[in-house]
Amino acid sequence: MINKSLVKRRFKKSLATYEENAHIQKKMAEKLIKMLPSKNYDSILEIGSSTGILTKNIKKYLKFKHYTAIDIVGESRKYIEKIIPNADFLEGDIEEIELNETYDLIISNACLQWCINPSAVVKKLQKKLNKSAIMAITLFGEENLKELKSYFNIKMQAPIEFESIIYQETETIKLYFNSPKDILKHIKYTGANALTEYKLTRTKLSEFEQYYKEYYSEGSKVYITYNPRYLILN
């Protein structure tokens, strides 16, 4: 079960380090934007804006009149308003927040996997689409971070099903590091340690590093697997 309190706390703590370490999330944002039709959007809603990785791509590549961002971490507001000064920002959990407007585009990058019921959230958001509008989302599949999930015995995510899919695509990407400890730092700095509150003692850390090098190394490097999923829906 997703712990929303832990998610909010960990992502708030990682705001200052997120962009420098969110290598995969940046690639996902760029790819998602390039999947969208080139047109003028009257209103755009971004879910899970964080430090504005996707927001920067929205501003750079899309034409729009009104932009609204939602994030569970209120401190994200300053990052978004720096990118789009006239942005509307709503602090809250997308699973709980009430939306009173409708939109030409609803978009989200690497966020909805943190929802307890992502499919229900998407259905909720689809009701807020204007006629002929679309929703564009990325999230992570069940193979995401599978090495850490296996070691720490974190339950693998079941496949998330959606309706009204126009297009979908899945990738598997390995990200390489010099040591298992560097992988843990990477996870911490992107807030993905919100998966668990597991704490490593010095002995446990040594055991983890030995295990990881044995099973998840290529040459002198170790790796972690990311499993991005891209969807366009209406």
Chain segment 83-93, per-residue pLDDT in tens: 999 999 999 99
Domain hosting 133: range is 4-144+155-173+226-233
Q: What are phi and psi of 142, to 5 degrees?
A: -70, -20
- CA-CA distance, 52 to 219, in Å (whole number)? 35
Burial class, 101, CB count within 10 angstroms (exposed 0-12 / middle 13-18 / buried 19+): exposed
Q: b/e string for 64-87 if b means 16 or more Cβ within 10 A?
A: beebbbbbbbeebbebbeebbeeb
Residue 188 belongs to some domain of the structure: no
Using pLDDT thresholds of 50, 70 and 90, give the confidence band for residue 197: low
Using pLDDT thresholds of 50, 70 and 90, give the confidence band for residue 211: very high
In this prediction, residue 193 carries a pLDDT of 73
In this prediction, residue 36 carries a pLDDT of 96
Residue 184 belongs to some domain of the structure: no
Using pLDDT thresholds of 50, 70 and 90, give the confidence band for residue 192: confident
Residue 111 belongs to some domain of the structure: yes
In this prediction, residue 156 carries a pLDDT of 66
Residue 75 belongs to some domain of the structure: yes
Least reliable range by pLDDT among 108-117, 151-160, 192-201, 220-229: 192-201
In this prediction, residue 224 carries a pLDDT of 97
Residue 108: pLDDT above 70?
Answer: yes
Assigned token pair, 144: 């995401």
pTM (predicted TM-score) = 0.93
What's 80's domain CATH number? 3.40.50.150
Give the mean model confidence (pLDDT) for residues 204-209: 94
In this prediction, residue 153 carries a pLDDT of 86
Chain segment 113-171, per-residue pLDDT in tens: 999 999 999 999 999 999 999 999 999 999 999 999 999 888 766 778 999 999 999 99
Using pLDDT thresholds of 50, 70 and 90, give the confidence band for residue 9: very high
In this prediction, residue 195 carries a pLDDT of 67
Residue 53 belongs to some domain of the structure: yes
In this prediction, residue 16 carries a pLDDT of 94
Residue 213 belongs to some domain of the structure: no
Chain segment 92-106, per-residue pLDDT in tens: 999 999 999 999 999
Domain count, the chain: 1
Residue 202 belongs to some domain of the structure: no
Give the mean model confidence (pLDDT) for residues 38-67: 96
In this prediction, residue 196 carries a pLDDT of 64
